Every structure is written in C-alpha cells, then in structure tokens.
Structure 1
Amino acid sequence: MMITYFKTVVAVLTVGILVTHGLICQFPHCETVQCESVDADNCTGTIRMGGGYCGCCMVCFTQIGYLEPCVYKDALDELLYPPTAICNPGLYCDRKSSTCQSIPGVG
C-alpha cells in the first residue's frame, strides 16, 4: 500500500514539473531569448544547443574523458539545471562511480 502511494506521489510530482516546464518554455519561447555569443575562439570544449533559458542557446560544454569525474543528472535535473560538462562521445556518466564510462557495445 505504501509503495503504491509513493509511486502515485512521484508520478503526480513528475507530471506537475513537466507541465510547469512546458508552460514556462512554450513555443516560440526561444525567439525572445538573448544568448551569449559562443564560437571556437572562446570555447575549449564542444559547442552545441542545449543551454541557457529553456535550452535555447548554443553553449560551450567542457569535454570529460574516460574515467574522469562527472556529475550524473537525471532528465529532470537536466531540465532545471543544464549541464556545463559532458562525457566525450561513446561515454556516459555512470551514476554509481560518478565517472565517464564506455557505453557497452559502442566503439
């Protein structure tokens, strides 16, 4: 009974947060966002979309190598607090070790 209650609470909170994010970041929300200029001259990592208000801006992500420390973020955390560093291609941030690990079957 307690597990069912817990699952219901988690589901309601998740839906509430996603609806709130959807209301705040409605299309065409990016048309009014002013982003900082990012280019190869001022970025030592990887430039890609996904930063700033509602993920509207191109940002410079620091690249993290194999077995280097990283900060695991679930999908909700990434919406609320976009990352500033990402594991190199073919790697993922392992929740248990907080390090970049090889994706099984890739590479």
Structure 2
Amino acid sequence: MLKFLCLSVLVAAAHAIVCPPNACQMVRCAAVTAESCGGTIKTNGGFCGCCDACITELAEGEKCMSTLFLGVPSTTQCADGLFCDSKTSTCQRMNVKRDVATCADKLAAVNARLTAQPMLLGLEKPHCEVDGTYEGMQFAGSQAYCVTSDGSMISGYMVNRWETGDHMDCQCARDQYAYQQTGLIGKMFYCDKNGNYASVGCSGSVCYCQDKMGKQVGTSTVGIWEKDSMNC
C-alpha cells in the first residue's frame, strides 16, 4: 500500500504541474553567472521556462534517471555524445556507426566476395529493405542486434541468434533511438530485449496492450502499478 501511495503521489505531481501563460510574471529569477554555475547555463531552462538554469553535465555511466521525469525541470544532462539510457538509468554513448555505405552497397560487396571465394566463411550478409536501407535486425556471428536504417548499431538491444523469436523487427528500439536524437525527455518506451515493442505499454500512469508498432490495442487499461497483471 505504501508503494502504491508513493507512486500515486509521484504520478499526480507530474501531471499536476501546468504552466499558465502568465506564470513567469510571478517569478523573480536569481542571477545565473559563469562564476556561480559550475556547469552549463541553459537559457530559460528553469521551471516553466521562466529563468535561466545551471545544468551539470553527467559523464558516461553516471545516473541520469532524474532527467526522465515529466513536469520537473532537470538540473543535469548527459554530456555531448551521450544519452540517458532508460534501461540502465545511466548516460551511455551514442550508437556506433556500423558502416557508411548503404545496406544495398554492402550486400553487393559481400555477394561479389562470395562469388570470387565461394568457400569464404564468417562473412555475414546484411539484411536490407527494398529501398536499400538496413532492416532493423542484423546478425554478427551468434548475435542478433538492432540498427537504424543507416546501419548504426542501437546499444542495449542484442540477443543470441536463436532468441530472435518469430520476428525481430527492432521497431521499438528504432523509435526510442529517434526520440532520443531530438533531445526531448519524458516519453518512455516499453521494448522487449530484442528491440520489439513489448506486449504492454504505458502512457503516464495508464497501461494497455500494444501492437508491434507501439499503438494501443483494445480499450482495456490499468494503472501503472498493475502493469504486470495485464494479459496481452
């Protein structure tokens, strides 16, 4: 019961924070200077965007979960080249580019090598879309992992080759990555370990069944504290 009450208070607080148009008229901003700020000064980065804020940059591996809550302006952010990984609540490096060529180019190069050396082992053919971009799932030896359409590896989504299931499309991992690149915070993604959308998703304090594109299925919902009770 105590956990339920605490969660309810947090959810309510997040949803209760609303900034009226005249909010800044009632706020007296404290001066934020380079001398007083040990981090980066973010213009209008304070509550309701009224005042400048001092933002502390976090290094790789440092905790960043506080930056994910809606409604409360954050005083920390991951440093350049890092993003807040919602799975580990730590700052992690941006995805590493696997290949600068298109998937179609790489596939053509691999096929050419295999034609010249049919017995060549260990050369993995990329999986390509009809437009020449990369499919969400790619293989490397015994591992399957998620990539963006240009072949950049998406960290945090790698499984054994035999664990890919009926279809590993990495759609959730891709959508989460695209959202992180916008620099926005607050939206949570519910992905399986293979990068697909999980069968249950949530928006704010409400959870529901979702399809492979992350869209709600049906009308049944439960509170986020009852998420594990859903049978989707």
The offset of 1:46, in angstroms, is 0.7
Corresponding residue pairs, total: 84
Contact 2:67-2:76 within 8 A present in 1 as well:
no
Correspondences of 1:71-86 after superposition (within 5 Å): 71-74=65-68, 77-79=69-71, 81-86=72-77
Structure 1 segments of 4 or more deviating over 4 A? none
Do the aligned partners of 1:72 and 1:95 also contact (CA within 8 Å) in 2?
no
Q: Percent identity?
A: 39
| Other structure's SS at 2:52 match | strand
CA distance in structure 2 between the aligned counterparts of 1:101 and 1:36, rounded to whole angstroms? 32
RMSD between superposed Cα atoms in Å: 2.5
Among candidates 71, 74, 82, match of residue 91 of structure 1: 82
Q: Distance in 1 between matches of 2:61 and 2:35?
A: 28
Q: Is 1:58 equivalent to 2:52 in the alignment? A: yes
Which residue in 1 is equivalent to 2:21?
A: 27
Larger Rg: 2
Q: Which has the higher helix share?
A: 1
* Cα distance per residue 1:3-46 (max 9 Å; x no partner): xxxxxxxxxx9xxx38x61xxx2224323311111010100101
Q: Name the TM-score, length of structure 1 as normaliser.
A: 0.63
1:36 matches 2:27: no
Q: Matched residue of 1:62: which SS? A: strand
In 1: Cα distance, 2:92 partner to 2:29 partner: 32
Shift of 1:72: 4.7
Give the whole-Å Cα distance in 2 for the aligned partners of 1:82 and 1:30: 15
Unaligned runs of 5+ in 1: 1-12
